[in-house]
A and B are shown apart, each in its own frame.
Chain A
Amino acid sequence: MGKTTKVTNSIRALRFANAEMTQADLAGRIGVTRQTVIAIEQGRYSPSLEIAFQIARAFGVPLDDVFHYPDAH
């Protein structure tokens, strides 16, 4: 399977910018396991739209600042 999504994210950078929030802290805020946060950060799992919004809200930024999708060309 390998990397299954073209979606990239800035979660790691945002965590560090937010008082070095740990993966466990973020997981607790959005109601998933720490392993799921790790999988999302590493691009091994595309979260649902709802989880994506929750992550953005946890950092207090718009969705576009967290997740990025490459242009078609």
Chain B
Amino acid sequence: MSYEEKGTWLFLWTTIAGYAAYIVRVVGRADGVALEKVDYERTLLWSIGFVIAANIVGRIALAIFGEVAVQVRSARTGVEQPSDDHNMDVRDKEINRFGEYVGGIVLGTAMIVPFGLALGEVEHFWIANAMYMAFVLSGLVSASIKLVAYRRGF
């Protein structure tokens, strides 16, 4: 598995974890109160911050542990194993472009919902959450498309 593919898996799981944690926290806080009355702003920003930070730290960890794993394999087999290349090559770039293109279409389409909610002058809670969900959905679709391309061909 290439470094970029590992990074895509990392993005997928951290996005799912960050969003799931956010939903559990906000819904848990409601406790009989209407959802739009719940204090959600700080949790939402923390959730987004977590995903960004986890991806930065995770990519560094992937590079370090990847190299350690190569050294261990080399020592165990007695044959020098090739290191992971941490630069995007032409295939990584093409797959990334394709995934981001599809993700962009999903984001553009999903953004119709918060746009409609804003026009309808509903509570900020629903607009912010519809936007967050659109970003998460776009990220998940984009990452999934990339992973299918890596696994099954492009």
Q: Which chain B residue lies CB-closest to A44?
A: B153
A34–B92 Cα gap in the complex (Å)? 12
**How many residue pairs at the A-B interface have CB separations less than 8 Å?**
53
- A9 located at the interface, meaning its Cβ lies under 8 Å from any Cβ of chain B in the complex: no
- Against B, the Cβ 8 Å flags (1 = close, 0 = not) of A15-37 are 00000001010010001111110
Residues of chain A lying within 8 A (CB to CB) of residue B105: none
Main secondary structure of the interface of A (DSSP, over half): loop
Question: Which residues of A pack against B, CB within 8 Å?
Answer: 1-5, 22, 24, 27, 31-36, 39, 43-45, 47-48, 51
- Against A, the Cβ 8 Å flags (1 = close, 0 = not) of B75-96 are 0000000101100011110000
B120-149 at interface with A (beta carbon < 8 Å): 148-149
Asked if A1 contacts B153 (CB within 8 A), the reply is: yes
Selected contact of B90 from candidates A22, A24, A36, CB within 8 Å: A36
- The 26 sampled A-B contact pairs (Cβ below 8 Å) are A1-B148, A1-B149, A2-B152, A4-B154, A5-B153, A27-B85, A31-B89, A32-B89, A33-B2, A33-B91, A33-B92, A34-B82, A34-B85, A35-B1, A35-B2, A35-B5, A35-B91, A36-B89, A36-B90, A36-B92, A39-B153, A44-B154, A45-B91, A45-B153, A47-B90, A47-B91
A39–B90 Cα gap in the complex (Å)? 12
The 9 A-B residue pairs with the shortest CB-CB distance in the complex, in nearest-first order: A24-B82, A44-B153, A35-B2, A32-B89, A36-B91, A33-B85, A1-B152, A4-B153, A33-B89
